[in-house]
Amino acid sequence: MADGLLSIAAFGLMVLGFCALALSQIAHYRRVTPHLPFPGTRVLRCSATLLLASSLLVSMSSQGVAMGAVIWTLAIPPSGIGVTMMLCGCKHTGRY
């Protein structure tokens, strides 16, 4: 059971990393949060790198080095597609 939860946590960290990577582009950031100041490309990309590296670390610690790397690599397309769908579905309504 712990392996399954760690795999879900690794997938969640990967999605967060790809979200931070997508928001490092100013066009995506303005579309999602138009009233907040842009924190900077370097900050968002460094946090994306840390999130993706921690996702790989969690995956390797739960499944072993070889299988964790394979599972992490196979989780890249679904998490990237999920982030893309979130960005496409995000329409700012002007209300908070």
DSSP one-letter string for 24-77: TSHHHHHHH-TTSPP--HHHHHHHHHHHHHHHHHHHHHHH-HHHHHHHHHHTHH
pLDDT at site 95: 46
Q: Is 85 contained in some domain?
A: yes
Q: Is 94 contained in some domain?
A: no
Per-residue pLDDT of the chain (96 residues; tens, 9 = 90+): 888 899 999 999 999 999 999 999 998 898 888 888 999 899 999 999 999 999 999 999 999 999 999 999 999 999 999 999 988 887 655 544
Domain count for the chain: 1
Q: Is 96 contained in some domain?
A: no
Q: Is 35 contained in some domain?
A: yes
Please give the residue range of the domain that contains residue 83.
Answer: 2-89
pLDDT at site 90: 72
Distance of CA 56 to the CA centre of its chain: 12
Q: Is 84 contained in some domain?
A: yes
Q: Model's pTM, two decimal places?
A: 0.88
